[in-house]
Amino acid sequence: MAGLVPFNRRNNSLRSGASDGFDSMLDDFFSDAWPFRRSLMADTFKIDVEDCEDHYQVEAELPGVEKRDIELSIDLGRLTIKVAQSRESEDMKKNYIHKERRYSSMSRSVYLADAISEGVKAKLDNGVLCIQVPKQKMDNNRSSITIE
């Protein structure tokens, strides 16, 4: 047992300095303190759904998104909002050093039980997408069922 070396994660002299730098970078990347942290939760947009008497009112916060980048669909009561943006910027010099490309996509779906696809209205104004989804007229013809 004399040949074993005690291991302490914090004070392990057997680890290389490069490994410590890499571990530190990973810790920074996954910590909440890092300002440019990206996650699935951060790469989505907020929506509000209001149940009105004859329709649903859905509002989605989409700052900086243009109308051409938005796709709306409704299928079997599921309203889906998809956003896909593609940007490319270039420094148009002969020997440019800097060129950037960016593609991002986000999607949110919400189930609206008695929504109908006909007559849906949508408007994008100042980064807020407002969608009005009509409801089916529900009959209140309830009846009791006798069990035999």
Cβ atoms 106, 40 nearer than 8 A: no
Residue 37 lies in a domain: no
**How many domains does the structure of the chain reveal?**
1
C-alpha closest to that of 135 among 112, 104, 101: 112
What pLDDT, on a 0 to 100 scale, did the predictor assign at position 22? Answer: 67
Q: What is the pLDDT of residues 13-30, one digit of tens each?
A: 555 555 566 666 666 555
Q: Contact 136/117 with Cβ under 8 angstroms? A: no
Beta bridge partners of 75: 78
Query: Which whole number is the average pLDDT over 26-44?
Result: 52
Q: Does residue 51 lie in a domain region?
A: yes
Q: What is the CATH number of the domain that holds 93?
A: 2.60.40.790
By the 8 A CB rule, do 20 and 12 touch?
A: no
pTM for the structure as a whole: 0.60
Contact 111, 130 (CB under 8 A): no
Residue 61 lies in a domain: yes
State the residue range of the domain holding 121.
43-134
Instruction: Give domain status of residue 80, yes or no.
Output: yes
20 in a domain, yes or no?
A: no
- In the chain, what percentage of residues exceed pLDDT 70? 61
Is residue 91 over pLDDT 50?
yes
